[in-house]
Structure 1
Amino acid sequence: MISVKASEETRERYVRNIIATWRAASPEQIQRGRTWYCTAHDLASRITKGDARAGAGVLAALSANKSWSENCRLAHQAYETGVPSGHFRDALSKVAKIMAGEDPEGVLPMERKTGMFFRCIADPSDPDAVVIDRHAHDVAVGETYGQRDRGLGSTRRYALLAHCYREAARRLGELPSTVQSVTWVVHTERIAGSGTRGPRR
């Protein structure tokens, strides 16, 4: 795992890795990355018949270790049946609370991936939120970890990488979430078929 006490030189290397991945994106990859959270926001609204914030919370709560298509299927199913299923008990408990009307910000871990995923979907124009999943980690550190532990449960490690994405975004004149989603598209397409498990949010 990377050190949570990264030097300024190491942080700069992470920022440059992110920017290099951004610059490697094709116009089509940039377009898909730019629209990813807007599309997810619209989906969240459709699932809940207009309550995008609740839909974003449910999608985020169900996102761990699930492909995006499976994530969406489980969220649709939860609202259609009124009973969340298909995930770990903790995730399903969070979904049930959000579906019952609790504010997702009071249910989800807001300083880590799940909470940030909620924020990006609920408001794609959020100027600060950035999702650090396993792919975002690997883009920043410049190495594909595969199934090795990245330690992203650590709030300090998450904050370190989030800072690097925000700095890269500042230099590029983009939103942090846009930089993350574009580089996510580039990275996951690079590793597709390489023996590394496919894209998961």
Structure 2
Amino acid sequence: MIEIKADAATRERYVQSVIDVWQAADSGQEMRGRQWYRTAHEVADMMTEGDVRTGAGLLAALSPQTAWPLNVELAKSAYETGQPTGHLGDALAKAAKILAGADPAEVLPMDRKTGHFYRCILDPSDADAVCIDRHAHDIAVGEEYGARDRGLGAKGRYALIAHVYREAAQRLGELPSTVQSVTWVVWRDRLVGTSTRGTEFNKQV
């Protein structure tokens, strides 16, 4: 795992790594990345008949280690039946609280991945939120970690990588979430031909 208290040179290297991947995007990759959270917002809106907050909360709560198509399926089913299923106990408990009317911002860990994923879906124009999953981490450090532990459950390590994306976004004149989603698409496309990973947006700690 990377050091939480990275020095200035290391932080700069991480920022430049993100910018390098951003600059490698072709027009199609950039378009797909730019549309990602807007599309997710529309999904949250449609599946809850306009209750975007609940939809975004369910999608975020049920996202860990779940590919996007299944994530959507589980969230839709939870909303329609009132009973979240198909995931681990902690995720199901969070989803149940959201279904019962709890504010997702009081249920989800807002300083970690699922909280930021919720914010990005709820408001794709959020100027601060940035979802740091395993791929976002690997992009920043410039190395595919595979099955190795990235330690993103640690508040400080998550904050470090999130700061890196915000700094890269500021230099590029973009939203942090846009930089994350576009670079994710580029990174995923690089991995597709060299591994057994699927091609869908897979949010995983």
Shared fold per TM-score greater than 0.5? yes
RMSD: 0.8
Give the direction of change, closer, same or farther, for the CA distance of 1:83–1:65 in structure 2 (3 Å limit): same
1:3 aligned partner: 3
CA distance in 2, matches of 1:133, 1:197: 15
Displacement after TM superposition at 1:195 (Å): 2.2
TM-score by length of 2: 0.96
Displacement after TM superposition at 1:194 (Å): 1.3
Give the direction of change, closer, same or farther, for the CA distance of 1:17–1:196 in structure 2 (3 Å limit): farther
Runs of 4+ that moved beyond 2 A? 195-199
- 1:1-201 superposed matches below 5 A: 1-195=1-195, 197-198=197-198, 199-201=201-203
Alpha-carbon contact 1:146-1:196 (below 8 Å) kept: no
CA distance in 1, matches of 2:189, 2:68: 15
Partner-residue secondary structure (3-state), 1:20:
helix
Displacement after TM superposition at 1:196 (Å): 5.5
Partner-residue secondary structure (3-state), 1:42:
helix
Displacement after TM superposition at 1:19 (Å): 0.2
CA distance in 1, matches of 2:28, 2:197: 23
CA distance in 1, matches of 2:171, 2:193: 32
Alpha-carbon contact 1:146-1:197 (below 8 Å) kept: no
Partner-residue secondary structure (3-state), 1:60:
helix
Partner-residue secondary structure (3-state), 1:183:
helix
TM-score by length of 1: 0.98
* Gapped regions of structure 2 (runs ≥ 5): none
Aligned residues: 201
Partner-residue secondary structure (3-state), 2:66:
coil
- The residue identity in structure 2 corresponding to 1:70 is L
CA distance in 2, matches of 1:169, 1:83: 39
- Structure 1 vs Structure 2: percent identity of aligned residues? 64
Alpha-carbon contact 1:112-1:155 (below 8 Å) kept: yes
CA distance in 2, matches of 1:9, 1:196: 34
Post-superposition Cα deviations, 1:138-184, rounded to whole Å, max 9, x if no partner, equal 00000000000000000000000000000000000000000000000
Post-superposition Cα deviations, 1:104-123, rounded to whole Å, max 9, x if no partner, equal 00000000000000000000
Partner-residue secondary structure (3-state), 1:145:
coil
- The residue identity in structure 2 corresponding to 1:17 is S
Alpha-carbon contact 1:120-1:126 (below 8 Å) kept: yes
- The residue identity in structure 2 corresponding to 1:54 is T
158-167 vs 72-81, greater mean Cα deviation: 72-81
CA distance in 2, matches of 1:95, 1:48: 14
